[in-house]
């Protein structure tokens, strides 16, 4: 089992002929991801990636020809939201948007439309999602993963990789790892992911990596307290961040109240989540929770 993607996912790459799309599509194919098509307006009828992947002018054309159900977007920021909307209208059920710097106004429009159409979005400004040994969508290094029974949810790309490495070092593998993105407007929240992992029969524990700013971690923790049967280990980045200063991610800014690292860590503990004080403790803390 897994959540969101697996070896049967039929993937299209929007922006496949760009440098980022080319580079990461090669990595995804090598991992085993089932890329059935690429989309670049004006280049329909061509092929790319050594002739392995046909290119279409639109997502609609690609879906009609390949029955694709999943899309990953490597499109520049000014056009990324429209790419999300195009995929949603074409009937794609899962869209992963890697692009950083998508205007907030554009994302508000895109989120409203995909919600109406029932499309799930991961990102934007995220490393993507990987179901170990089955499907890699995005920029995560697949070689660091090991098949196992722990789900990973993270706002941070690099901390996602660190958490995976920590788990592997103590002998724990992963089912699916998701980088949800650190922007103020994203498609899928930590709570959404916890619900999916709770329903996945092969996931026995979950790591969540949050950061200062916003209420997402708190909402997830309170939902987990009432609904989650599986152990959770949490880590909050930005413990030394000064109030009022943005720290890397657009959504990582402390306005006061319970969006500080200390407040979030306290609330996570109150909700029964085992909190790692340091990123270096994540693996061992999860191992302890599984025993």
Q: Residue 156: what pLDDT?
A: 83
Residues 6+ apart with CB under 8 A from 165: 144, 283
Show the tokens assigned to 177.
């790892």
Q: Across the chain, how many H-helices and E-strands are there?
A: 9, 14
Partners of 48 in beta bridges: 53
Q: Which residue has the higher pLDDT, 213 or 50?
A: 50
Q: How far apart are CA 261 and CA 273, in angstroms?
A: 15
What are the pLDDT digits (tens) for 191-240? Answer: 999 999 999 999 999 999 998 888 999 999 999 999 999 999 999 987 76
What are the pLDDT digits (tens) for 64-119? Answer: 999 999 999 999 999 999 999 999 999 999 999 999 999 999 999 999 999 999 99
DSSP letters along 120-140, please?
EEE-SSS-EEEETTTEEEES-
11-122: CATH number: 3.40.50.720
Residue 120: pLDDT over 90: yes
Q: Residue 241: what pLDDT?
A: 62
Q: Residue 246: what pLDDT?
A: 53
CB 125 within 8 A of CB 103: no
Average pLDDT, rounded, for the chain: 93
Q: Residue 252: what pLDDT?
A: 46
C-alpha separations of 250 from 62, 84, 98, 149, 241 in Å:
33, 20, 15, 31, 14
Q: Residue 72: what pLDDT?
A: 98
pTM, two decimals, is 0.93
What are the pLDDT digits (tens) for 228-273? Answer: 999 999 999 877 666 655 555 555 444 555 678 889 999 999 999 9
Domain ranges of the chain: 11-122, 141-290
Q: How far apart are CA 171 and CA 183, in angstroms?
A: 32
Q: How far apart are CA 201 and CA 79, in angstroms?
A: 38
Which residues are marked as active site? 249
Q: Which CATH superfamily is domain 141-290 in?
A: Succinyl-CoA synthetase domains (3.40.50.261)
Q: Residue 237: what pLDDT?
A: 87
Q: Residue 61: what pLDDT?
A: 98
Residue range 38-45: mean pLDDT, rounded: 97
């Amino acid at each position: 089992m897994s959540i969101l993607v697996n070896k049967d996912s039929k993937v299209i790459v929007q922006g496949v002929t760009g440098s980022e799309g080319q580079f990461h599509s090669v990595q995804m194919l090598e991992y085993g991801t089932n890329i059935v098509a690429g989309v670049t307006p004006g280049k329909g009828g061509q092929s790319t990636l050594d002739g392995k992947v046909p290119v279409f002018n639109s997502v609609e054309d690609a879906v009609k020809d390949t029955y694709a159900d999943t899309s990953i977007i490597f499109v520049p920021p000014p056009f990324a939201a429209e790419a999300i909307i195009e995929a949603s209208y074409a009937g794609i059920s899962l869209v992963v948007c890697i692009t950083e710097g998508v205007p907030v106004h554009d994302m508000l429009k895109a989120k409203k439309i995909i919600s109406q159409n029932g499309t799930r979005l991961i990102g934007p400004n995220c490393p993507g999602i990987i179901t170990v040994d089955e499907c890699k969508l995005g920029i995560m290094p697949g070689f660091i993963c090991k098949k196992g029974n722990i789900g990973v949810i993270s706002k941070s790309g690099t901390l996602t990789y660190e958490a995976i490495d920590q788990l592997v070092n103590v002998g724990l593998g992963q089912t699916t790892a998701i980088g949800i993105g650190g922007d103020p407007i994203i498609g899928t929240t930590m709570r959404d992911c916890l619900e999916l992992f709770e329903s996945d029969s092969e996931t026995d524990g979950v790591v969540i990596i949050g950061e200062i700013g916003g209420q997402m971690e708190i909402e997830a923790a309170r939902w987990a307290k009432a609904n989650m049967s599986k152990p959770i280990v949490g880590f909050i980045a930005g413990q030394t961040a000064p109030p009022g200063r943005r720290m890397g991610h657009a959504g990582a800014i402390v306005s006061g109240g319970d969006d500080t690292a200390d407040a979030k860590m306290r609330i996570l503990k109150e909700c029964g989540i085992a909190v790692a004080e340091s990123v270096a403790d994540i693996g061992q803390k999860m191992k302890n929770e599984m025993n």
